[in-house]
């Protein structure tokens, strides 16, 4: 499957799990953080799987390197389309790691 086909391929799935299993069957690998990110987008922006995949793809949060999918962790631009998830501190606020220092 070519990179240009990945967006079309993703449009045929309703869940992250089904898409992940199909991608693994095609020889692709991806971090679980990508699956979690897709789930977060679906939940917090109330999108279907194809819509969430398209959003992350268009915002260049899904990067393709051969048969590896890489997830760009910074989701701040994604949340511009809707409210931030509760687990994400608002911009400028320190997270738990800073509180320990």
Parse the chain into domains and list their residue ranges.
3-81
User: For the purposes of burial, counting CB atoms within 10 Å of the CB of 38, is it exposed (0-12), middle (13-18) or buried (19 or more)?
Assistant: buried
For 84, the token pair is 């931030």
- By C-alpha distance, which of 75, 4, 67 is closest to 30? 67
- Say which residue, 89 or 79, is predicted with more confidence: 79
Indicate the pTM of the whole model.
0.73
Place of tokens 């679980």: 32
Which residues are CB-neighbours of 96 under 8 A, at least 6 positions away?
A: none
- pLDDT per position as a tens digit, 3-40: 888 999 999 999 999 999 999 999 999 999 999 999 99
- pLDDT per position as a tens digit, 60-86: 899 999 999 999 876 555 656 555 555
- pLDDT for 72 equals 86
End-to-end CA distance of the chain: 46
For residues 47-59, average pLDDT: 92
- Angle at alpha carbon of residue 53, lines to 41 and 21, rounded to 5°: 105
């Amino acid at each position: 499957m070519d990179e240009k086909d990945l967006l079309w391929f993703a449009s045929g799935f309703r869940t992250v799990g089904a898409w992940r299993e199909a991608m693994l069957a095609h020889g692709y690998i991806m971090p679980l953080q990508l699956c979690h990110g897709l789930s977060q987008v679906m939940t917090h922006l109330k999108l279907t799987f194809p819509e969430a995949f398209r959003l992350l793809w268009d915002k260049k949060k899904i990067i393709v390197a051969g048969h590896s999918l890489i997830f760009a962790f910074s989701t701040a631009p994604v949340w511009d389309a809707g409210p931030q998830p509760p687990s994400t501190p608002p911009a400028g606020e320190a997270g738990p790691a800073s509180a320990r220092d």
